[in-house]
Amino acid sequence: MQVQRYSDARAFYDRILPALESAERENNLLLGAARRLAYSPHDDAFMASVEADGDVVCAALLVPPFNLLISPAPAATLEALARQLQAWGIATSGVMALAPVSVAFAAIWQRLQRCGSERGKELQLLALGAVPRAPDVSGTLRAAVTADVAILTAWGGEFFPEVGLPPAERDLFVARLDETMAAERLWLWEADGAPVSMLGYSETTARAVRIGPVYTPRSHRGRGFASAAVAELSRRLLADGRSWCLLFADVENPTSMALYRRIGFADVCLYREYRFA
């Protein structure tokens, strides 16, 4: 096996896409990040593929300060990847991947680096490929506009700490507001003429999108606004020709998991995070 490192984000994306898109739902996190890098390169991004007999058998992507993302691979492949990361002096604060992959890589990395680790978030990936079951909730969905920046910034400041995501995620959300609004990837549910819930989405492949963040302030919860917004946005995205709408739900939040399942989302796989000391 050979570990190939990339400096060109477009070349990396083009190389790994044919190998990973057959399982585009399971690989959506890495593919989505790689797709974004192909259009908006990051100077500090680390990109690599593990290859055997000319075929890509694993891909890895790290954009500091976020976790290392790894596609599914057997233990021997993960060992080869980890040893090469160590040889190159690549530092990572954690890993996020399918649960078995995270478990295996974390064990290898602890052994090689002689470091500790702690289990982080567990996220259930869900998918919808048919018309959602829309709840009967008053209100309408509309694209966010420049006049909404203040409320979006405030809600972003509440959402990311509440779900246990690092400040870097919140900062990135705020920094990209103009970009996401211009692309109509950020939406608001309005009731009685006022915004009551927000949600966004990102492209992961040409056929799939991932919905998130989804946030309703505490004062507006319990009235079905988030489920109505997710259902309507999913309906529009599927009607526009997407094959899948994906989203992550925190397994420690059974309320949100039940909400998405009632709309029609079905479980796909479990992601797990490990943080390294």
pLDDT tens across 73-84, in order? 999 999 999 999
Distance of CA 131 to the CA centre of its chain: 22
CA–CA distances in Å: residue 268 to residues 33, 79, 92, 120, 243: 19, 26, 27, 20, 15
- Domain coverage including residue 179: 127-270
Average pLDDT over residues 162-171: 91
Whether 166 shows a pLDDT value over 90: the answer reads: no
Q: Do 78 and 101 form a contact (C-beta atoms < 8 A)?
A: yes
Whether 207 shows a pLDDT value over 90: the answer reads: yes
Structurally, how many domains does the chain consist of?
2
Q: Do 30 and 59 form a contact (C-beta atoms < 8 A)?
A: yes
Whether 245 and 133 share a structural domain: yes
The residue among 115, 136, 164 that closes a domain is: 115
Helix (H) or strand (E) holding 259: helix 254-263
Average pLDDT, whole number, for the chain? 96
SS3 category, 188? strand
In degrees and rounded to multiples of 5, residue 8 shows phi and psi of: -105, 110
Whether 51 and 145 share a structural domain: no
Q: Do 233 and 90 form a contact (C-beta atoms < 8 A)?
A: no
Give the predicted TM-score (pTM) of the model: 0.94
The residue among 89, 115, 141 that closes a domain is: 115
